[in-house]
Amino acid sequence: MEMQLFAERRARFAERMEPGSVALFPASREKIRNHDVHYPFRQNSDFYYLTGLDEPESIAALIKEASGELRYILFVRPRDILDEIWTGVRAGVEGAREWLGATEAFELSEANKEIPALLEDRLAVYYALGFDDTFDRRVIGWLRSVRAAMRGGVNPPEQVRDPRAILHELRLRKTPAELELLRKACAISREAHREAMKAVQPGMNEFQIQALLDFIYRRNGSERNGYNHIVAGGKNACILHYDRNNQPLHDGDLLLIDSGAEYGHYSADITSTFPVNGRFSDKQKRIYEIVYGAQQAAIEACKPGNTFEQVQHAARDHLVAALIELGLLEGTVESIAQQEKELLETRRKERTRGPIKPEDLPYKQFYPHNIGHWLGMDVHDVGRYKLDPERSQPLEPGMCLTIEPGLYFYEGYENCPKEWANIGIRIEDDILITESGHENLTAGTPHTVEEIEAIIQEPSSIPL
């Protein structure tokens, strides 16, 4: 991406900073996987959003002077030929200034000297406390050292503010440049889901389908997956975050794939559920059509002015009506909606958090999650879902969210209806809110029964 885009983002962030303040953003660090092997590096999304720098350990400081002037300071690993021949070329302080647009740049070893000086006599420091314990301790140490110098005539910042209150509102609303990357991630992911449908055969193992997804993603330039693939055959689909992906696929079972490519630091998120042998059984089809109907109802509700909660309720009401008709729930759509409303109020009063239990709201046995989440640089992207306890987030053009209702009949529940035992179905698309309503960014992923049964008949050219 053009470096100008990152400068624009910093400027938009700074617009909302108090004059006379400083903001600190640490990069991700490398993490040990085992002995001396690292996990693959993935930059912190907030850091990347503002800097475009993909190096570990770096620190970005944004200063808005009392005059309104903006300074952008980067602390980076030094150029070092011995290090670079092992781990790759670095921007260094020259690169930070010339390529990355920093007004000043220092080697990381200078941070403990320079950053306390940046904090002196500022109104506020914007720093995201509680995300990175190690960096939290460094920030506290820098603040302490400024306080210790008070008799020398300097004062520490009065306030520590959370930059995410500003930054995540920006990230929630995608710009055309961001949407270009997200569209590409969606297109790659759609192709992989289509190829998986063509390739699946009874007797295969889940890991073969996982290999296919990785192959299609990498072949199309996706540097990594947005999250761990879920390739869940049969009853594994009832485990919401199943990712062992190592079991055989049986004739007569469904296969649930929840997988999205990351492209340019933006992640897609698609779930497909389809029959391993190419044909839905009548029972599978009945449940599938219910989930599909719920998904369509929720997608229809995706338009500016509607709230996230309205989308959530559109799917819930559809699923609840169907569960009542199947004889699996008692009450009416309205009575269950009222029950949920009261339950949420009680939970708020009693400070109860975590998933809602089926004892408290019976439909949660079959639909334990929510309709979806914001989508962007993080698969579960940042941004508020409620403006306050009473007001759900209104949808605006540029917001992206997933729509992913599901029904699961987990046999572990004592009262699991035998007729439906071990069926798990989820259908997920990625939706962009537009001026006129919405655009399905993952349209073309076969999601109707007819589309799925047709594509599974197509030959696969991918050797597994």
**Residues forming the site for Mn ion (CB under 5 A):** 269, 402
Residues facing residue 254 across a β-bridge: 275
Closest separation between CB of residue 255 and Mn ion, Å?
17
Instruction: Decide whether 41 or 227 has the Cβ nearer to Mn ion.
Output: 227
79 neighbors 36 (Cβ within 8 angstroms): no
Catalytic annotation present for 133: no
Task: Name the catalytic one among 340, 428, 429, 430.
Answer: 428
54 is catalytic: no
Question: Is 214 an annotated catalytic residue?
Answer: no
426 is catalytic: yes
Q: How far is the CB of 300 from Mn ion (least distance, A)?
A: 19
Q: Is 282 a catalytic residue?
A: no
Q: What CA–CA distance (Å, rounded) separates 329 from 320?
A: 8
Encoded tokens for 204: 């295969």
Rounded to the nearest 10 degrees, the angle between the axes of helix 449-457 and helix 176-199 is 60
How does DSSP assign 70-120, residue by residue?
EEEEEEEPPP-HHHHHHH----HHHHHHHTT--SEEEEGGGHHHHHHHHHT
The per-residue DSSP string of 384-438 comes to -SEEETTEEPBP-TT-EEEE--EEE--TTSTT--GGGTT-EEE-BEEEEEETTEE
Instruction: Provide the 10 A C-beta neighbour count for residue 36.
Output: 6
Min dist CB 227 to Mn ion, Å, is 8
Nearer to Mn ion, 322 or 427 (CB): 427
The catalytically annotated residue of 193, 194, 313, 373 is: 373
Closest approach of Mn ion to the CB of residue 142, in Å: 38
- 36 carries an active-site annotation: yes
Active site residue 369: yes
What does the alpha-carbon distance between residue 30 and residue 40 come to, in Å, rounded to a whole number?
Answer: 8
Annotated catalytic residue 373: yes
Which of 164, 173, 279, 380 does the annotation list as catalytic?
380
Known catalytic residue at 428: yes
> Whose Cβ is closer to Mn ion: residue 253's or residue 269's?
269
Decide whether 62 or 375 has the Cβ nearer to Mn ion.
Answer: 375
Q: How far is the CB of 289 from Mn ion (least distance, A)?
A: 21
| Closest separation in Å from C-beta 406 to Mn ion | 10
- Set 49, 242, 292, 408: catalytic member: 408
User: Catalytic one among 289, 369, 384, 451?
Assistant: 369
Q: How far apart are CA 58 and CA 26, in angstroms?
A: 6
317 is catalytic: no
Pairing of strands 266-267, 230-233: unpaired
* Closer by beta carbon to Mn ion, 260 or else 362: 260
Distance between CA atoms of 117 and 111, rounded to whole angstroms? 10
Structure tokens at 280: 């839905």
Q: Which is nearer to Mn ion, 46 or 269 (CB)?
A: 269
Which residues are known catalytic residues? 36, 241, 258, 269, 369, 373, 380, 404, 408, 426, 428
